Amino acid sequence: MPAINITFNFYSVLFKPRKQHSNLNSVEILKRVLHYITPVNLDNKVHLVDRHKNRENTNPRHLFVDSVVFDYVERRYKCRIGVIREGKTPMLKPYDTYQLVSLDEMKQKYGDLVEVTHFYIDISKNKVYLCCEYNFYGPRYSDIEFYFRNVAHTMLELARETKFEVHLDISLDKLLKDLKNVFSFEIKVEPAGLEQIEPAIRNHYFSGLRSFGSLVKTRALNIKAFFDIEEKGKLIKSDNEGTTLVKRLLRSIKNEDTDLGSFKNLILEYTTEQSDDIQSINLIKNQKGFEISIDSKSLNSNKKWYELVKPKMDDFISNL
């Protein structure tokens, strides 16, 4: 069977301690969080968290970490998080026929379907750096953040804030500060990805796309919008809502109300306060990360995953 390409991205993990634990830094809080969720410390059970617990008319999103291994030499955690698949059950195609088989009976006999995501955490520089697999159907980095927040804040009462910061070639803070006018943007998103956009932004700007995607059952939507005009042979900015939309979207991503991973592509052409030259950035391809190619036979081998990830992660940590 062919190899499968998997993308990984890098994040910084920050915990702000509560007043009574002000002596703890992010590394110390992380250690206590991971100790708490390690299955062997829970009598070989897991800490189960429903991210959608307080959402009405929404399927549960039960998250759990089933593997935590610490490498004392590398000072690195090797982990795996799962999400129990809810809602519509996929079908199974036998190798020798196209007569699809329902998995409902198998679920009744064996248990729930689970999507898993691998992630690795380095603390060798006395800061917390996360290297996380991008899995569209499985847990995202934002799920891991929610899970850690639940443990650090609610269960252990150590942290008042838990925050993951994505590593980009340009920081979102700087982009928001410098951005003056947007001349064009291109957004590619799968219909399911629209659900990962902050509701206020999604309902204001993308409600028509949701209806269109649902109506024609499209695999992905690609939007290109242009806001420039030519006047006397010179390209100038026209009045538009494009800059407002982009700034709202960037702030939402920065505040983690919108998952950057929900987009397949997000390209901006813009000018800054410092220059009228049009610049371009691809917020998906400009994330710091890498891709591995893993044989499908090794997909369930945590050891093989890490062997492929380790050189790339080593390079990232050594160049910080």
pTM equals: 0.75
Residue 87 CA from chain centroid, whole number: 21
* pLDDT tens-place string over residues 256-307: 788 887 788 899 988 888 887 888 888 887 888 899 998 877 777 888 899 9
Q: Which two tokens stand for residue 256?
A: 């983690």
3-state DSSP call for residue 166? strand
Q: Which residues of 38-52 are buried (b: 16+ CB within 10 A; e: fewer)?
A: beeeeeeebbebebe
Pairwise CA distance, residues 169 & 283, whole Å:
9
Q: Any idea which of 44-48, 173-177, 237-241 has the lowest mean pLDDT? A: 237-241
Nearest Cα residue to 38 out of 62, 64, 68, 63: 68
Average pLDDT, the chain: 88
Q: For residues 188 and 222, is the Cβ–Cβ distance under 8 A?
A: yes
Q: For residues 1 and 297, is the Cβ–Cβ distance under 8 A?
A: yes
* pLDDT tens-place string over residues 127-182: 999 999 999 889 999 899 999 999 999 999 999 999 888 888 878 888 899 988 88
* pLDDT tens-place string over residues 217-233: 787 888 898 887 656 55
Nearest Cα residue to 129 out of 74, 90, 208: 74
Tell me the HSE value of 197 on the side-chain side, using a 13 A CA sphere.
Answer: 25
